[in-house]
Amino acid sequence: VHIITMNIVTDPKSTLPLSLCEYGLRTHEHSIETPHGLLHVTLHGTSNTRRPAILTFHDVGLDSKSCFSPLFKFEEMQEIVKNFTLVHIDAPGQEEGAATYPMGYAYHVCACVCLCALGFRSVIGVGVGAGAYILSRFTMIHPDSVEGLVLVNIDPQARGWMDWAAQKITTLTSSLTEQILSHLFSQEEMSANADLVKSHRDRISKAPNLINIELFWRGYNSRRDLILDRTSNFKCPVMLVVGDQAPYEEAAVECNSKLDPTTTSFLKPSKLTEAFKYFIQGMGYMASSVMTRLSRSRTTSLSSSYSMEGERERSRTLSQSSQGGQMPPSPSHTMEVSC
């Protein structure tokens, strides 16, 4: 996946476009020109730019709507929506109604969101799968632009020779749709969520921009290693989220092992949404928000479960806090989310 840094010269005191201020909490869409085509961006939430924007990046086979709408429409997320501007990026050619790229098109992913053009100096990144990798790479290149990262089902490793050979065989025996479904779901999840898997299969196989999806998929599979070690980690707090049966569970756990253990905390909050609020509070925002369970429970073994439409039945959350973060002390330094 090629990460393109865009140098845009604007007034540092610039604010959000007037149209967004007028729309308030309503959704507003932008198409931003880049050297590699249009970048589709959807904004909603507050128009206050004194706080970082929450920037999302979706996985392969999804777009920003199908990936993040269930989460940010969830009732308990509305407090965050009312306090932050959400910036949803669609990878080039992945949004609804996108024009189909010609054969042989050189596909690039633009991870720089034109923060100055939109009036933001920093963001809190939320990425899933390929989006988690892209935002991680962006954070390494622009550490001062990212205040925090939430990485869901991240695989920081490049494809090895065994993976490459397996991918070649899979390409010969499986359709693009089935390859992407195997990326999104494990075999256990496919068996347990037949209706959800069918809806994704139908949507991907019938997508008019299937060529664009294939280009994104190929680009992700040619990614390079994220160079992580305990002495040169992300400068910002990081929360890792991975499903217990997700295809990349081991990869996410391996990623966590490379983070500095002295700045890593694990918890068992009741909900992913509340864990997200807690993560934001640790960066000094939403201090008055009521954290019903996380703030009250600091024992070594906190456990609960929940279900959310379109989400995995269980997930494990690993959270890294920067030295400047305000995470409350925990005797076990263990964080796990059951959902």
CATH number at residue 177: 3.40.50.1820
Average pLDDT score, the chain: 72
Q: What is the pLDDT of residue 20?
A: 41
Q: Residue 87 domain-assigned?
A: yes
Q: Residue 11 domain-assigned?
A: no
DSSP-derived secondary structure for 206-244: T-TTHHHHHHHHHHHHTPPPP---TTS--SS-EEEEEET
Q: What is the pLDDT of residue 189?
A: 86
Residue 173 has pLDDT above 50, yes or no: yes
Which domain, by its residues, includes 148?
18-232+245-251
Q: How far apart are CA 36 and CA 225, in angstroms?
A: 24
Q: What is the pLDDT of residue 232?
A: 67
Strands (E), 140-272: 146-152, 238-243, 264-265
Q: How many domains does the chain have?
A: 1
Neighbours of 139 (CB within 10 A): 25
Q: 228: closest CA among 206, 195, 207, 251? A: 251
Question: Residue 260: pLDDT band by 50, 70, 90 thresholds?
Answer: low
Q: What is the pLDDT of residue 62?
A: 94
Q: What is the pLDDT of residue 142?
A: 86
- In this structure, is the dihedral angle defined by the CA atoms of residues 19, 21, 25 and 31, taken in order, positive or negative? positive
Q: Residue 89 domain-assigned?
A: yes
Q: Residue 142 domain-assigned?
A: yes
Q: 134: closest CA among 111, 156, 118, 159? A: 111
Lowest mean pLDDT among 7-16, 78-87, 158-167, 247-256: 7-16
Report the share of the chain in percent with pLDDT over 70: 60
Q: What is the pLDDT of residue 160?
A: 58
Q: Residue 238 domain-assigned?
A: no
**Tokens found for residue 62:** 């999804």
Q: Residue 7 domain-assigned?
A: no
Which of 19-23, 57-61, 121-125, 264-268 shows the highest mean pLDDT?
A: 57-61
Q: What is the pLDDT of residue 261?
A: 61
pTM metric for this prediction: 0.76
pLDDT tens track for 276-333 = 888 888 888 887 776 555 444 333 232 233 233 444 444 444 444 444 444 444 333 3
Q: What does the pLDDT average to over 19-48?
A: 71
pLDDT tens track for 189-219 = 898 889 999 999 999 999 999 999 999 998 8
Q: What does the pLDDT average to over 139-154?
A: 88
Q: Residue 325 domain-assigned?
A: no
Question: Residue 51: pLDDT band by 50, 70, 90 thresholds?
Answer: confident
Q: What is the pLDDT of residue 240?
A: 83
Question: Residue 172: pLDDT band by 50, 70, 90 thresholds?
Answer: low
Q: What is the pLDDT of residue 302?
A: 28
Report the share of the chain in percent with pLDDT over 90: 20
The pair phi, psi for residue 241, each rounded to 5°, is -125, 130
Residue 58 has pLDDT above 70, yes or no: yes
Residue carrying structure tokens 């709507």: 65
Q: What is the pLDDT of residue 329?
A: 40
Q: Residue 196 domain-assigned?
A: yes
